[in-house]
Amino acid sequence: MSTTSTETIRYARFASPIGELLLAAKGDRLWKLHMLHGPSDPRASEGLDQARSAFLDDVRGQLDAYFSGRSRGFDLPLAGEGTAFQSRVWAELSKIPYGETISYAELARRVGDPNAARAVGGANGRNPIAIVVPCHRVIAADGRLGGFGGGGDRKLWLLQHEAEVSGREVPAAWTSR
């Protein structure tokens, strides 16, 4: 998931059911997807004067299909940047099926270090391409939602949305925060 730093960065906005998203691409690869926290978010002004990008239009189209329930995944080249450990965690996140969840401990086991649940949580929290790399599908071992950089309400919405589209029941632990 690494990329060179000389590529042109393009930005786009996407109004989603969970709030405004800021998309950033390096070339024709998705580099970042930020969930903005209102107009005071320091990232809210990034890329305001950018020209349109066919690639980012495709990203917005795929996000629209995801949020409307017409699609359960993404087919996008990614350019996320992180350490080797973070990249392994993010690769495993991408393997979690739509509408399903796993624990931080299970994710640690899947990346080859069963004692690294906290480190996995840290890598999960630094995921630069939220939703597309589904960090929201990782929950606490007791079934509660745990943390989420976009906020607990957004994580709950994403998980409930995927459960509903998949025809799965929403666990009581998710709503008893």
Q: Which residues participate in catalysis according to the annotation?
A: 135
CA 4/CA 38 separation, integer angstroms: 31
Question: Which is it for the CA torsion 151, 72, 118, 141, positive or negative?
Answer: positive
Sheet holding 29-35, edge to edge: 9-16, 19-26, 29-35
Query: Helix/strand/coil (H, E, C) string of 89-146?
Result: HHHHHCCCCCCCCEEHHHHHHHCCCCCCHHHHHHHHHCCCECCCCCHHHEECCCCCCC
- Whether 174 and 145 have beta carbons less than 8 Å apart is answered as yes
